Amino acid sequence: MDTFNAYIKELLDERGINECDKKDLEFEIRDHLMLLENEYLNKGLSEKDAIKLSIRDFGESNFIGNSIKKNLPSHNKYIDFTIKERIQYLLSMFLVYFIFIFILSYVTFFSQIFDSIFYYIDMAIVVTLTSFIFVNKKVNNNKNKVKNIISINIQFFIIEKVFMSLFILIVRSITTGVYNFSLLNTYIFNWIYILSFILLTSCSVIITKYVMNKVTLNLKNNYNTTITSTFLFIASILFIIMYILIPNRFYVLRKIIIGILGSDITNVSKNIFFMVINNNLVIPNIGLVILIILCIRLILHIKKKGIESLL
């Protein structure tokens, strides 16, 4: 039985198959293997030989595992999200959110629309569109699609308001020394942004309910990443953004660096891998290191399971 368990694990693990389908498949495969084993036992073979031949008859693990995933009736979609998928859902929305802020705030070509009506509408669009795509790609139950769009968007809305309010208050207190500051004047409470977010969420719900149940019928969810991989990828992107911004564009980090050095920043030497400040403090590009590690893991995964395991 341990041999069967190891074989089933090799068949199904690390192929991005959703947990619900994986549990059903484990039961079905084990049942089929035991039937094959009983056939060989009835022919007078030993248990060890019967197990070995049963696995041989079932097929090579990588080929069969990838074939099973490719032909899942559910298209590898969830009936509903678990807590793990909800966390990944929110993390994906916040990743897009922070990348958007970075691009429109610091990239010269886009910075001209910063703090304009287009900025607020575009911000609402990219976040709600991420939510819309994520749900319709990963959930196959129409009622649960609508439920998840509404509930997760509300959670994002609340978390964003609380987190960014605290962040802005801390930054303002450090940079200006002013503690009595009205958050109503910031973008997070801008009425255009809030109204756009609500309207676009409503549009996502309507389109999902009446259109996407037909459009996404055969749309496949290629791969379900682990929450650890999702977190590390998002952390790598955010660290890379921070690395790009320091020491001149992110005042809070600049203050921290000055505090560590005990003097102002007078000289900065930076490349893609690390920067040296005042010929004294070395700051590695941690985000790039994490991203390289993830890429190495991906290459090893492809070598072990085949590119088909990701498709």
Mean pLDDT, the chain, as a whole number? 80
Distance of alpha carbon 308 from alpha carbon 68, whole angstroms:
11
Q: Say yes or no: 231 and 266 in one domain.
A: yes
88 and 179 share a domain? yes
Are 53 and 128 found together in one domain?
A: no
Over residues 132-180, the pLDDT tens digits come to 988 888 888 888 899 999 999 999 999 988 888 887 777 777 666 655 6
State the pLDDT at residue 70: 80
Domain co-membership, 65 together with 38: yes
Quick one: 297 and 234 in the same domain? yes
* Rounded (5°) CA angle 40-41-42: 90
pLDDT band at 245 (very low <50, low <70, confident <90, very high): confident
Phi and psi of 276, rounded to 5°? -120, 125
pLDDT value of residue 1? 59
The reply to whether 75 falls in a domain is no
Residue 110 has pLDDT above 60, yes or no: no
Q: In sequence order, what are the residues at sequence separation of 6 or more whose Cβ sits closer than 8 angstroms to the Cβ of residue 226?
A: none
pLDDT for 271-285, tens place per residue?
A: 888 888 777 778 888
Mean pLDDT of 41-52: 81
Say whether pLDDT at 240 is over 60: yes
Residue where one domain finishes, among candidates 70, 104, 126: 70
| Same domain, residue pair 152 and 35 | no
Final residue before a domain boundary, out of 42, 70, 98: 70
Structure-token pair, residue 276: 């040296």
What's the pLDDT at 151? 92
Residues 6+ apart with CB under 8 A from 246: 253, 254, 257, 275, 283
pLDDT, average across residues 93-109 = 78
Domain of residue 48, residue span: 2-70
Number of domains in the chain: 3
Highest mean pLDDT of the ranges 50-59, 155-164, 168-177, 261-270: 155-164
Q: Is the pLDDT of residue 100 over 80?
A: yes
Residue 49 in domain: yes
Q: How confident is the model at residue 250, as a pLDDT?
A: 61
Q: Name residue 113's amino acid.
A: I
**Cβ proximity of 13 and 226 under 8 Å:** no
Specify the pLDDT at position 47: 79
Tokens 């509404």 locate to 150
* Whether the predicted pLDDT of 239 surpasses 60: yes
On whether residue 37 sits in a domain, the answer given is yes
Asked whether the predicted pLDDT for residue 291 surpasses 60, the reply is: yes
The span from the CA of 211 to the CA of 213, in Å, is 6
In terms of domains, do 183 and 256 share one? no
What is the spatial order of strands in the sheet that 281-284 belongs to? 268-270, 274-277, 281-284
Query: Which of 3-12, 99-108, 125-134 is the least confident region?
Result: 99-108
Average pLDDT over residues 208-219: 73
Same domain as 193, residue 166:
yes
85 burial via Cβ count (<10 Å: 0-12, 13-18, 19+): buried
Indicate if 140 and 46 belong to the same structural domain. no
Residues 111 and 196 in one domain: yes
In percent, the amount of the chain with pLDDT more than 90 equals: 11
- Report how far apart, in Å, the C-alpha atoms of 107 and of each of 7, 101, 249 are: 51, 10, 11
